[in-house]
């Protein structure tokens, strides 16, 4: 049985490794459109951009791992078509047969339209190793950088720039940074952190266009102000890479739609990671995280081999900015109350409740609160809010 994996990122690598760990002895072909071997992306906008991590430390496995485990890893090879009837993928002009096909194609950063300067030289996005390699030389003390978008990627880039001594401006068109993903309490905490480091955070501020002839020279704002810039980093979200699946006639619903097993609308095609949406609490969800990419891919690997077990997502996320370690467990969708638990100094956690139900926790420099909150959510336990606020130690809550 030949399993072909399209996408050689975190999910693809996890899926291939899990197939071998579970005893699959058939062919595995993993196709990646980047020239680099499978690598981790989170450090790109942090340690790697800062120059604190070398490229080989990004690799998920030593290069020899793939050959030793008989995984045919083909890099720099983009798949151009899928034929579900013939059960082939087209790559480099070759029609490659598969018995099972796994789509772990990930996602791509949204870019600013060319009409507003998105294609000027000096405008960058943060997603791939090549993206960061292209911009690293720009991060020099004293230069001016504009970050478009106050989400986690943009804020992590802003933190790196500030640490390296650049003049940093963050533009966020929403009333507050992180508005789509976090409560006002978390937004305020992170915003204050950046402002105390000298970053200019402009909320409720719309971008009219980037200005410059061939290279970006600044940004014209909706209110008429113009801000100079030596370069610009765009962090305005990502979109799932579902075009191959859509062209092949697979069901698309905020990404490549799968069932609870990870199978798409074609019984021989599976999907996992950023590109895949799956059933969740009566609806559908798509998770953009390392944890989900690994867990979902490993579940799909088991189900390709006949396990027949539904994927149970356990959402968790993190962000490193300056000395802040922000850890997030659960999903806060639908919350109606925030409970604050304060520790010493800059240690604090915000707990999201819907009625009496605990949904999620944002923990700032508080790994204990994060770990307890994550376990409580996974166990389906919801301590009373006043207990979260006042309990000297949270760990006993796991025993009740």
CA–CA dist 345, 331 (Å, integer) = 26
Q: Determine the pLDDT at residue 354.
A: 98
Q: Determine the pLDDT at residue 400.
A: 65
Mean pLDDT of the region 33-41: 96
Top-level CATH class of 323-398? Answer: alpha beta
Domain(s) labelled CATH 3.30.390.30 in the chain stretch across 323-398
Tokens of 130: 């090549």
Domain(s) labelled CATH 3.50.50.60 in the chain stretch across 3-108+238-304, 111-234
CB atoms inside a 10 Å sphere around CB 261 = 18
Give the tens place of pLDDT for each residue, 226-260.
Answer: 999 999 999 999 999 999 999 999 999 999 999 99
pTM above 0.85, yes or no: yes
Tokens of 29: 């072909």
Residue 306: closest CA among 12, 2, 24 = 24
**Which of 39-48, 117-126, 210-219 is least confident?**
39-48
Q: Determine the pLDDT at residue 63.
A: 87
Q: Determine the pLDDT at residue 87.
A: 98
Phi/psi of residue 318, each to 5°?
-155, 160
Top-level CATH class of 111-234? Answer: alpha beta
Is the pLDDT score of 385 beyond 90? Answer: yes
Mean pLDDT of the region 40-55: 93
Is the pLDDT score of 275 beyond 70? Answer: yes
Give the tens place of pLDDT for each residue, 288-326.
Answer: 999 999 999 999 999 999 999 999 999 999 999 999 999
Q: Is 45 or 4 the better-scoring residue by pLDDT?
A: 4
Mean pLDDT of the region 146-166: 97
Q: Determine the pLDDT at residue 108.
A: 96
Q: Determine the pLDDT at residue 169.
A: 98
The DSSP line for 312-336 is: ----EEEEEETTEEEEEEE--TT--
pLDDT class of 131 with cuts at 50, 70, 90:
very high
| CATH 3.90.1150.10 holds for 3-108+238-304 | no
Q: Give the mean pLDDT of the chain.
A: 97
SS3 content of the chain, % helix, strand, coil (to 5): 30, 30, 40
Give the tens place of pLDDT for each residue, 311-368.
Answer: 999 999 999 999 999 999 999 999 999 999 999 999 999 999 999 999 999 999 999 9
């Amino acid at each position: 049985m030949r399993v072909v994996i399209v996408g050689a990122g975190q999910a693809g690598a996890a899926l291939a490794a899990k197939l071998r760990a579970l005893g699959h002895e058939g062919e595995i072909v993993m196709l990646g459109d980047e020239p680099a071997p499978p690598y981790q992306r989170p450090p790109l906008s942090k340690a790697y951009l800062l120059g604190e991590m070398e490229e080989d430390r990004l690799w998920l496995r030593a290069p020899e791992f793939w050959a030793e485990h008989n995984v045919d890893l083909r890099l720099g090879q983009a798949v151009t078509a899928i034929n579900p009837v013939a059960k082939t993928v087209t790559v480099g002009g070759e029609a490659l047969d598969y018995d099972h096909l796994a789509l772990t194609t990930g996602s791509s950063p949204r870019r600013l339209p060319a009409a507003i300067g998105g294609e000027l030289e000096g405008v960058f996005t943060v997603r791939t190793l090549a993206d960061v390699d292209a911009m690293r030389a720009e991060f020099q003390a004293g230069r001016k950088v504009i970050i478009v978008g106050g989400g986690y990627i943009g804020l992590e880039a802003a933190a790196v720039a500030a640490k390296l001594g650049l003049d940093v401006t963050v533009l966020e068109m929403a009333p507050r940074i992180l508005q789509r993903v976090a409560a006002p309490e978390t937004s305020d905490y992170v915003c204050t952190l950046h402002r105390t480091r000298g970053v200019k955070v402009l909320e409720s501020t719309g971008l009219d266009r980037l200005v410059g002839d061939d290279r970006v020279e600044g940004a014209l704002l909706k209110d008429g102000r113009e801000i100079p810039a030596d370069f610009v980093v765009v962090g305005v979200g990502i979109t799932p890479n579902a075009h191959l699946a859509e062209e092949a006639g697979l069901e698309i619903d905020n990404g490549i739609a799968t069932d609870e097993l990870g199978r798409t609308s074609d019984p021989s095609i599976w999907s996992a990671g950023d590109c895949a949406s799956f059933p969740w609490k009566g609806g559908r969800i798509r998770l953009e995280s390392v944890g989900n990419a690994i867990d979902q891919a490993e579940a799909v690997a088991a189900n390709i081999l006949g396990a027949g077990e539904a994927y149970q997502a356990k959402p968790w996320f993190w962000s490193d900015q300056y000395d802040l370690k922000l850890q997030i467990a659960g999903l806060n969708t639908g919350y109606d109350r925030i409970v604050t638990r304060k520790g010493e100094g800059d240690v604090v956690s915000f707990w999201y409740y819907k009625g009496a139900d605990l949904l999620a926790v944002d923990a700032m420099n508080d790994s204990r609160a994060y770990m307890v909150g994550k376990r409580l959510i996974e166990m389906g336990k919801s301590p009373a809010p006043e207990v979260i606020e006042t309990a000297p130690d949270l760990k006993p809550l796991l025993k009740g």
